[in-house]
């Protein structure tokens, strides 16, 4: 028994990466960046508003936090729906209190189904990211290009029509991508994507349809990752976010601008026993002179105008 000889050939073995999507660059070696007003740490707070269909197909995998029980899984369906009808309003109140300007990554279908919610989010003045069609329309390797292209187009166009805003940002459901996703995003006018979490700063990403920026929306301090995947307590989540903030703030003073990207889910942190923990986090990370809290689009604009945009 042996393997085909191809198994011992290494066509991409070279300096840099085994792909051409972006350049190899170590964060500490890059020229320092300064955020507007001489701030050192940019803080981006994103809220994901999600629709988990009851008739989940689970192609090619069951989305994390989706339906797990046999149909109809009223338990997870209604628990997730809680976020969009109850939890989000607790978050909005906290944002007003701490003067946070968040972004809202919303499933286009949810935006269509809940006009009240959409109007409320618009009134809050946030920037919208397209979060795909719904949590059961995953982008994935092996998916037909035409099928995916139709989903991207429909999602971005629907959200653009409903919000009246240019849709510049994208977050894939479950951050799942196909080989084509970045190309399709650029093709649909998307300026930045939040899926790849390989940096603490924005960076340039190559596509067939022109430039795309990656805005890494950290998974490691994301509420659902810490509490639902790692099963850490809400108190530990607070500590982890605060520690990340303190560290990045210090590093940003020593090495140049950094970005803290915090991802939130109203069905999770919007629960009565958790909302106080979010308030604790917001109290810790707001109100610093060195901190610039802004929506992702503004952070990207500042980054690109700072003239340090990486070139390929």
Partner 1 sequence: MKETLGAYDYWPYENRPKITWPGGARVAFWVAPNIEYYELDPPLNPQRKPWPTPHPSVPGYAIRDYGNRVGHQRQMALLDKYGIRGSVSLSVALCEHHPEIIEMCRERDWEFFSHGIYNTRYTYGMSEAQEREMIRDGIGTIHRHTGQKCAGYLAPALSHSERTLDLFAEVGQELFGDEAGLYTCDLFHDDQPTPIRLRSGRRFVSMPYSLEMNDTIVYAVNRVEPRHYLKMLKRHFDRLYAEGAESGTVMCIPTHNYQISCPHRIKAFEEALEYITGHGDVWVATGREIAQHYLDHHYDEALRDIDARAAAARRS
The site for partner 1 (CB under 8 A) is made up of 53-55, 69-75, 77-79, 81-82, 84-86, 89-90, 113-117, 119-120, 231, 233-235, 271-276
In whole angstroms, the minimum distance from the beta carbon of 100 to partner 1 comes to 18
Q: Which is nearer to partner 1, 189 or 276 (CB)?
A: 276
DSSP letter at 205 equals E
Report the b/e string of 160-170 with b at 16+ CB within 10 A.
Answer: bebbeeebbbb
In whole angstroms, the minimum distance from the beta carbon of 227 to partner 1 comes to 8
Structure tokens at 156: 């971005």
In whole angstroms, the minimum distance from the beta carbon of 193 to partner 1 comes to 27
Q: Which is nearer to partner 1, 86 or 149 (CB)?
A: 86
SS3 104: strand
Taken in order 67, 112, 195, 235, the sign of the CA dihedral is: negative
In whole angstroms, the minimum distance from the beta carbon of 82 to partner 1 comes to 5
Q: How many other β-carbons are positioned within 10 Å of the β-carbon of residue 61? A: 11
Q: Which is nearer to partner 1, 88 or 213 (CB)?
A: 88
Q: What is the DSSP string of 231-293?
A: ---HHHHHHHHHHHHHHHHHHHHHHS-EEEEEEE-HHHHTSTTTHHHHHHHHHHHSS-TTEEE
Q: Which is nearer to partner 1, 53 or 202 (CB)?
A: 53
In whole angstroms, the minimum distance from the beta carbon of 14 to partner 1 comes to 45
Q: Which is nearer to partner 1, 109 or 181 (CB)?
A: 109
Q: Are 271 and 83 in contact (CB under 8 A)?
A: no
In whole angstroms, the minimum distance from the beta carbon of 76 to partner 1 comes to 9
Distances (CA, A) of 57 to 53, 63, 65, 67, 222: 9, 10, 14, 10, 25
Q: Which is nearer to partner 1, 117 or 214 (CB)?
A: 117
């Amino acid at each position: 028994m042996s393997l085909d000889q191809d198994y011992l050939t290494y066509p991409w073995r070279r300096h840099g990466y085994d792909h051409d999507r972006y350049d190899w660059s170590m964060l500490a070696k890059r020229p320092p960046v300064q955020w507007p007003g001489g701030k050192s740490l940019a803080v981006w707070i994103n809220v994901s508003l999600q629709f988990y269909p009851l008739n989940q197909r689970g192609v090619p995998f069951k989305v994390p936090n989706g339906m797990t029980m046999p149909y109809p899984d009223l338990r997870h369906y209604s628990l997730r729906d809680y976020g969009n009808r109850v939890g989000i309003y607790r978050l909005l109140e906290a944002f007003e209190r701490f003067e946070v300007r968040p972004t809202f990554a919303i499933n286009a279908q949810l935006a269509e189904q809940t006009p009240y919610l959409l109007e409320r989010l618009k009134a809050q003045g946030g920037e919208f990211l397209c979060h795909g069609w719904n949590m059961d329309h995953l982008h994935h390797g092996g998916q037909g290009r035409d099928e995916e292209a139709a989903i991207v187009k429909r999602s971005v166009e629907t959200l653009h029509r409903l919000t009246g805003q240019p849709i510049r940002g994208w977050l894939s459901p479950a951050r799942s991508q196909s080989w084509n996703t970045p190309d399709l995003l650029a093709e649909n006018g998307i300026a930045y994507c939040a899926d790849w979490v390989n940096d603490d700063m924005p960076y340039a990403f190559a596509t067939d349809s022109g430039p795309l920026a990656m805005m890494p929306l950290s998974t490691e301090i994301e509420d659902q990752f810490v509490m639902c995947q790692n099963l850490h307590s809400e108190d530990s989540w607070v500590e982890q976010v605060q520690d990340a903030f303190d560290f990045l703030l210090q590093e940003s003073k020593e090495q140049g601008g950094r970005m803290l990207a915090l991802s939130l889910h109203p069905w999770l942190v919007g629960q009565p026993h958790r909302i106080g923990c979010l308030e604790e986090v917001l109290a810790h990370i707001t109100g610093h002179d060195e901190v610039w809290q802004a929506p992702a689009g503004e952070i990207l604009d500042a980054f690109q105008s700072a003239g340090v945009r990486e070139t390929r």
